[in-house]
Chain A
Amino acid sequence: MDQLYQHLLNGLLLGATYSLLGIGLTLVFGLMHVVNFAHGEFYTLGAYALFAALAGASVDFFLAIPLAVVLGAAAGALCERVLLRPLRGESIDTVMLVMIGVWIAMQNAELLGWGGVAKSVPTPFSTRPVVLGSVSVSPLRLFVFGVSGFLILGAHLLLARTKLGRAMRATFQDRETAALMGVSIERVHTITFAFGAGLAAAAGALLGPVFLLYPSMGDLASLKAFSVVILGGLGNFVGAALGGLVLGVAEELGAGYISSGYRDAVGFLIIVAVLLLRPSGLFARAERVG
């Protein structure tokens, strides 16, 4: 029984990281319809930015995280402005391929700049685990879980309750009308993409210390993010958050009770099942955006 509790706890913590990865992408993929293969690279950028701030400039840990997020958002804004805006009318496949190019270029630039050796990020947290009955967890992962929840809630509120959020939702629902109502379409696109990239960078800055930093760390992140987005429903924020948790718990239980080798297969099979039985996502009943 203890084993089950630990598995569930592992699954929730893992799932929180998946949620964080998914919510950034659900805006970009779900609303802007950009198949952003470089999503994982903004994640990696956030992680390396944190490392650089801590190792290079000796910034305080709790300050370095927001710094990394801002850098990620800025990079996203730049990418949107320079590459995506001129290609606005083009087919979704062309944009997808440009993002594949960005993915390849960014990852290899990171390899060139930082080298292939994995880096670890020192944190101010103790490594002694927190014991809760029969299960244990490290303070760092509790911190990450908490901040992830906070970020997800904050993003949800921004989309649902603020003027900016309304403008974003309006633009992607009906561009012409939104423009007529005075929304600056260009700015909304840039802000949305930057928002998505910033969330990815946040995930990287938070998860970097939990795991290790290496240039190809974003590949797995991208794949999980796409899975979470579909599980939750395109553009569905709450869905992505919940979908991430579902995926994490399912993978953990599958690895624990079925087979560790086929661990990822559990996730894939769940996705296949959802797609065949409930294609609009597990949580389609929730609000469409946010």
Chain B
Amino acid sequence: MARVWTGVLVLALALGAAVPASAQPADPIKIGVIQPLSGPVAASGNYVRMGAEIGRDWINARGGVLGRPIQLLIEDNKSDPKEAATAAEKLIVRDKVPILMGAWGSSMTLAAMPKLEEYGVPMVVETSSAASVTKRGNPWVFRISPPSEMEALGLEKYMKDFGVKQADFLAVNTDWGRGSATAFGDLLKRSGASVGATEFMDQAATDMNAQITKIKAGSSDTLFLTTSVEQITLVLKQAQEQRLVRKVITTGGSSSPSQLIKQAGAAAEGTYHLLFFLPWFPEAMPDGKLAKAFVDEWSKRGHPFEGLTEGFRGHDGILTAAEAIKIAGRPDPKAVRDALWRVSIMGVNGPIKFEKDGPAGKESGQSKPSIFIVEIKDGKIALPAFVAKK
């Protein structure tokens, strides 16, 4: 009996010792990364991770930051806000990271945000699109991805070329999908077009036939589709099966058109996609050389080409974080936060510079990323005619 309790005690002590024992030598500067690496959006989270790793390796190849290499501490938020908050806590408290990048989905990011304020550590938001992320008055949040409203503005100048009279919305039933439907709905009204039906699909749903049948019965000429590439594939295939004829525009930047061509085939023909990176035309990016180098490195590592449209977010996020640490002169969270306001660099997407967003006195940082449109024509990615002209 005594043996059992001794065993339990030893085990408890061992666990207790093992957990903080991984305090490593202070040489590398650690950056925390929180992404959904398992669950329904595991692919996207992993692409961001891969991009982040390229960013890290390039920075280290150039000598690191402040003479020290950077190290990424990667945590899986399992698409669960509770996990995102716990991961943030662990990275901040146990690993003492001066800055974080994360957490992909808006709910996960919002859940981690109170931890940032509690401990005073900044986070670079690389994907979330909910407006509230930068409007909540959290001065530790710096976003390089566009909120849906900004994305809609990016489409505004092409509205006449698209000639939309009435559009339907089919969006994933999350803050991202709903926010996008609202933002683009407002855009339509501003441009003199009208909104038809607004349908939603559950994030894990695979059968969208009901929604498609409903949309088909309406009289719209365009369909705005906001979800990740897997569901877009299914929607396009099911739309083809039901012979739905519409102009399709996907929003959100997670449509991975190369993967769509591979998996949806002819069903993807003629569709338009709003993206934040053009891996097929890197020269068209604001920094063509950097974009091309990123594309080349990505394929050199054997990563799937389809992941580039999301992977660049990880690269730009780490680049931003490292730059901030450099400007700050030391890996101290508050200094890094102040330094973020002075960051002005060129990422794969384009210029990264933060402007104030949100309630006065507690503003978050929001950058203005570049937004692009592509078309799938003849089984290949092309710049739409009216875009190439401008």
Partners in one complex: yes
Q: Point out which of B42, B45, B213, B263 has the most chain A C-beta atoms below 10 A from its C-beta.
A: B213
User: Which chain A residue shows the least CB distance to B46?
Assistant: A116
B82-109 interface mask toward A, CB cutoff 8 Å, 1 = contact, 0 = none? 0000000000000000000000000000
Which residues of chain A are within 8 angstroms of B237 by Cβ–Cβ distance? Answer: 127, 138
Give residues 1-33 of A contacting B (CB, 8 Å).
2-3, 6-7, 10, 13-14
A252 close to B (CB within 8 Å) = yes
B266 close to A (CB within 8 Å) = yes
Which residues of chain A are within 8 angstroms of B200 by Cβ–Cβ distance? Answer: 260-261
A177 close to B (CB within 8 Å) = no
> Would B210 and A263 count as touching, CB distance under 8 A?
yes
B117-145 interface mask toward A, CB cutoff 8 Å, 1 = contact, 0 = none? 00000000000000000000000000000
A256 close to B (CB within 8 Å) = yes
Which residues of chain A are within 8 angstroms of B230 by Cβ–Cβ distance? Answer: 118, 212, 214
Are A212 and B210 CB-contacts (below 8 A) given A116-B43, A136-B242? no
Give residues 191-212 of B contacting A (CB, 8 Å).
199-202, 204-207, 209-211
A137 close to B (CB within 8 Å) = yes
> Would A7 and B42 count as touching, CB distance under 8 A?
no
CB distance from A215 to the nearest CB of B (A): 7
B241 in complex: contacting residue of A3, A14, A129, CB < 8 Å: A129
> Would A127 and B265 count as touching, CB distance under 8 A?
yes
B160 close to A (CB within 8 Å) = no
> Would B234 and A212 count as touching, CB distance under 8 A?
yes
> Would A138 and B213 count as touching, CB distance under 8 A?
no
Are A136 and B210 CB-contacts (below 8 A) given A111-B42, A260-B199? no
CB distance from A135 to the nearest CB of B (A): 8
> Would A138 and B241 count as touching, CB distance under 8 A?
yes
B234-257 interface mask toward A, CB cutoff 8 Å, 1 = contact, 0 = none? 100100111100000000000000
A81 close to B (CB within 8 Å) = no
Number of contact residues on A: which range applies? 35 or more
Determine the distance from Cα of A131 to Cα of B242 in the docked complex, in whole angstroms. Answer: 9
A81-125 interface mask toward B, CB cutoff 8 Å, 1 = contact, 0 = none? 000000000000000000000000000100100011110100000
A211 close to B (CB within 8 Å) = yes
A216 close to B (CB within 8 Å) = yes
> Would A120 and B42 count as touching, CB distance under 8 A?
no
Determine the distance from Cα of A116 to Cα of B37 in the docked complex, in whole angstroms. Answer: 8
> Would A117 and B43 count as touching, CB distance under 8 A?
yes
Determine the distance from Cα of A137 to Cα of B237 in the docked complex, in whole angstroms. Answer: 11
> Would B207 and A14 count as touching, CB distance under 8 A?
yes
Which residues of chain B are within 8 angstroms of A253 by Cβ–Cβ distance? Answer: 210
> Would B234 and A129 count as touching, CB distance under 8 A?
no
> Would B206 and A129 count as touching, CB distance under 8 A?
no
Binding site for A on B (CB under 8 A): 37-43, 45-46, 173, 199-202, 204-207, 209-211, 213-214, 216-217, 229-230, 233-234, 237, 240-243, 262-263, 265-267, 304, 306-307
17 residue pairs of the A-B complex, CB under 8 angstroms, read A10-B213, A115-B42, A118-B230, A118-B233, A120-B233, A129-B241, A136-B243, A138-B237, A138-B241, A219-B204, A252-B210, A254-B210, A256-B210, A260-B201, A260-B210, A263-B205, A263-B210
| Besides the known contacts A3-B213, A118-B230, A214-B42, 7 further A-B residue pairs in the complex with CB atoms under 8 A apart | A10-B213, A117-B307, A118-B43, A120-B233, A131-B243, A216-B204, A255-B214
